[in-house]
Structure 1
């Protein structure tokens, strides 16, 4: 049914009445951003230094486990309830078979344990994919020059079980392999991890906006592209099919990635399925805002808040953003 509002003609109807002062604008605001909407992505590295600046992500650092623990404490104090952990491994650990991804004593497993010991009531979201662990930068295993779906799933299942045992609360498969949600959910149930949540990267597009992220996790030179498994940016209906499949296989929540270029997808997914729908404001989006601010083309805080409100307006339940800590401080002020 189409809603046809009854509008009084001018001058009886003056829409500007509801915009004339901050208090009335706040009173009638249709969408609000709360600190509990934020998920903060953090990069953990295996180097000796406590913090290592990421050149393409201004203000973002790779952290030692000890520093990640400090940031988790601060995040919780600010009201951020979930942090997302991503690894940066030295080149010597990366391999064609991504063996480090399933190491029960791997970097992110250790980070989960340390953070949970220090901040037990913070939620930990972990990325399930092989790209930080392969020497070719792909999310799956390469066999005869092609990403092999089912062999990759076997690795993702083992990775999921290792990270869950380490204390991860939410598994976030970002690989876009067919059938991986069902395989992970079945393995979790069999292992007695019925409470472990899955936030599926259900609609992840092959995007130009991931460049700084690849820098952050240490992918120096991606061999080829990811278009045989990540989605074509021309497609909408395909996203709905992908989301439907992942929900049917046991995903508790779904994600759209990237963010601003795909607001229409966020809206359609959230309105169609009525499940918790998240959006990732990816590294390229962050870098663009930072670059515009540096050039004097945009006010930093206004620009950041406007983009995050756009995600809420589109129907997002929450947002993964590198601005999370700064925004939490703004909301607390």
Structure 2
């Protein structure tokens, strides 16, 4: 069902409002942090199973798509993007353990700063003055949201912020590569499959020596991880990957801001996380900065390969995708 909605090669998807697809994708991904916490496993274990359990669903879809639309070009770029996504997932999970599911999802949106800097370095695209004004607002909001001013929902807000910002940087690289590789192509399942393979490999390479990857976490944990794979890695990324290429950067980024907002709400409702007033203010500053930066980027269409809209944990589909605006 998700594939029918998300595949650009299926004629019916063109009749679906891309804003609805983006909202649905953001809703799917917004529960990723909650499912990770409910699984009770390490971030490396969650990242690995998130990818591994998605493969049995993605593989036949990608094969079907290949038969209909032909092979995917730029496959190496998809795998490289997946390696960055794997680093994002592991770091993001470590951030969740330290600052809480909702706040970690807000923190990862620092990618909105990194993506335009990559576009500047690679394609010479200069950020606007409005974007430059958004950067200090973003950083101040990150500090407040992480609990540096006092009240925090996690045990180690400073380390949680470091991991969250690192996840956002890795996620930005993922978004940048997938956007460049995906221009002019209608494939949906194949790039998600290739990126998922790369992410799973990085989850083992990074997560195993750091926290360990438990290959037998128990049936209860596997159930939560299977739900994470289907919602965050399959449905969320494919829906967003189908929607954002059809939206203006500003519009897509704004819609995806639903993701961190929903993540904070779900964290409070399901996990009992209660952000303090300053953390809520920090979240508002982050979202305001993302909105401001998104308007700066969205003033012109993505006419060059390096121009990418604002995210997204998660990190995780074809993210002009994943991802841009909000998350893993």
TM-score, length basis structure 2: 0.28
Q: More helix by proportion, 1 or 2? A: 2
Query: TM-score, normalised to structure 1's length?
Result: 0.28
